[in-house]
Structure 1
Amino acid sequence: MAVINGKVAAQPLEPETVEQARERVARERREAEAFAARYGLEFVDLTRFRIENDLFRRIPFELMLRYGFIPEEQLDGRISVVMADPSDVLKIDEMEMLLGQPIEAKVGVRSAIEEILQKSESAQRVLDEASEDFRIQLVQEDEEGEEVLSIDRISADTSPIIKLVDSTMFNAIQRRASDIHIETRDTEVIIKYRIDGVLYQAMEPIDKRHHQTIISRLKVMSELDIAEKRIPQDGRFKLRLKGRTIDFRVSIMPSVHGEDCVIRILDKESMSEEFKNLRLDILGFDEETLRKLRKFIREPYGMVLVTGPTG
């Protein structure tokens, strides 16, 4: 304990370790589950929560931040929201008045709600701003030959096309997308994300006149031939986000209306962390299927095929 001018100086807080963070998250979850059980409310696991963009855009972000809730789903005549403390009746009444409809409140972990609000607001805000000019961030390479991607860099970039492409990738990573699809149509360009095997439209359609500039930007990033438009091309590039390196595999294919593009996102470091403790018995198989699977795996010959949609 340090004493300065006769006063006890405040000690700097020690940074939270990974183990401490896990214990804190587990404790917060137990408290939230107990709270939900006490009030007879549904507990929502927010670890893989995905916000509906249309619903998110309809509600002022300041309102979500002030009352600490996430809109979950628009139901028939009411809206489902996730909150840390739905027991405050006055707060619920105010929210219902401001939203103009009854609320079905559910319980979530406070820190998870705050994190989702921060990520969703910042990422979607930048994406919306980037798309306004088009009805729509690779940056300079560093000394290691990798690109550094962040909200600050995207916001600071003055090129609309660069801002669009990079913010699209940033938002895809935030939403845990496995692929980005850029589809060319007769009068417009559609950008979609593949999340959990399902394609979702990422933003409003972009005017067709910006199509070639977007594709050219991706070709430059992937070191492909920007002049070649008649044959398929495959390339790759890397970005660094929050200290981890993410690989992007780019496939460009000519189509009737122009060149289409599919970008596969390979976040290997994140997957390694998520799957570190992955075991067969936590994948949701019933006992009989699990028994058969273990039996087949132990066979000295043959193979076990794992099939399904990519992403």
Structure 2
Amino acid sequence: MIRQKIRLGDLLIQEELLTQEQLEHALKLQKESNYSKKLGQILVEEGFVTQKDLLKVLSKQLGYEFIDLYGQKIDFDKLARYPLQILKNAKAVPFDEDEDYIYIATSDPLNYEALDILERTLMKPLKIYLAPDDEVEAIFHRLSILEDTKFIIEEVKKELHTEGLKKEGEESAVMRLIHLIIKDSILRRASDIHIEPDEKKAVVRARIDGVLQETFVFDTEIYNALDTRIKLLGGLDISEKRKPQDGRFSMTIENKLYDFRLSTSPTIYGESLVMRVLDREKALLRLEELGFEDENLENFNRIIHYPYGIVLITGPTGSGKTTTLYAALNEIKNIHNKVMTIEDPVEYRLPLVQQVQVNEKAGLTFAVAVRSFLRQDPDVILIGEIRDSETLNAAAQASLTGHLVFSTLHTNDAPGAISRFAQMGLAPYMIADAMVGVVAQRLVRKICPYCKKETHLPPSIYKIVQKYLPDDYTVYRGLGCPKCDFTGYFGRTMISEILVIDEDIAKLISEGATKFEIYEYAVSHKGFKPMIYDGIKKALKGITTIEEVLRVTKEK
């Protein structure tokens, strides 16, 4: 293997990705670690450069091409025969082979010693490509999963080949595997469990803190058994594989009862199964536990105690809207008022609340339910989502007849809800009279408290957020540890913006002001702060990272 002498620090300074002071600081830290850490690793840990920038510079200098490992058809059975520890030492994944070369992707092309050992072990020349560290680690993670689940997979196969014979009173191997998948996902704090078939394999992925992580890999034979058994659990038709189905089931995990919302969808390789984990305790969150900053909490508390009007929660799917709505209901429900909800579906059961589920086959839509609620003498009405003009008109009518109405809408920001109502056909004067407040929210991952440390912002990130930062600031990141599964994040919190519709803003709305005019007026006259301010504030407190905030918000 040809070794090129690379002065990484000088290259990064040359590309204006690093300053001389930052390089000297990193070299000092490397010396303090007794050179146990590589310079590139320290530069990334300190936040001076991103790994992507590092690999781009090395790619240019070494002449190695980038490759998308996820796009390669990797034979994991063959990969498992390679010496795993040697692969890990070289951070290298063999993904192809021909008569002349073994093709590998590595995230550490300067580790010549480890790559030499790998080449001697494989007894064939290496053709080197570059891949990000997270892609390489994901392949190693899948190999570990295959090894760890080998025993129970063999049990399931044995059971399938003996036509399901098992001892009396013994739980089937398929059911034990389902328990294992669900228990593992819950212990990882997953909100959703995905089982997805592919051409030759099926993959189980868990959505942890909003990001999907691969947890299990099975043969198609195992997937077929899982698919049938999970559909039986959810009360679905196991013979119907051509159209989507929805179901529900409950299961006790670690002496705690969980509900699961099951959804199936036909794909070209089989049915994609998704189980939404519904933890009953999460429905009982208090407003103070949601993550509102003091000013936003005060504003939200005020608008949910108004006697009438529409309170909207906006944001994309998976942004915590339902949790915020339920926390608001928990705050205001009591023995002296009547609360009714129409939901699709009912996710959590709430005491002292009359909950109704949409049933379109029977003609029970959001709009029909709201009109019927008005004859039930409610004080508070919750509408799961305003999807059409009929539901919107019913909600407006309910608010104008003295009811407090909560609902959700899919818009990117709080002022956008006003223009969305206008697009759906509600007259501006009606919007001004009916609406009392809009909350736009997102969920961001929290920095893992077990591996949190101070860091620096890369120049590319600093340029974007410079105007939001004070002169003297500190930011943090998680290095990654066993507690957070080496992601650097542990749990999620909310960032939000709240537009309170007072008389001045209501007057603007009734005069047909645009979303941008309302936004400008709210910022300059009412102290309205866009969501990014809330996110930056949390990042400066060490709750989340600037990168997380930019991932979910739009810089204004």
Q: TM-score, normalised by structure 2?
A: 0.28
Larger RCO of the pair (alpha carbons < 8 Å, separation 6+): 1
Q: TM-score, normalised by structure 1?
A: 0.45
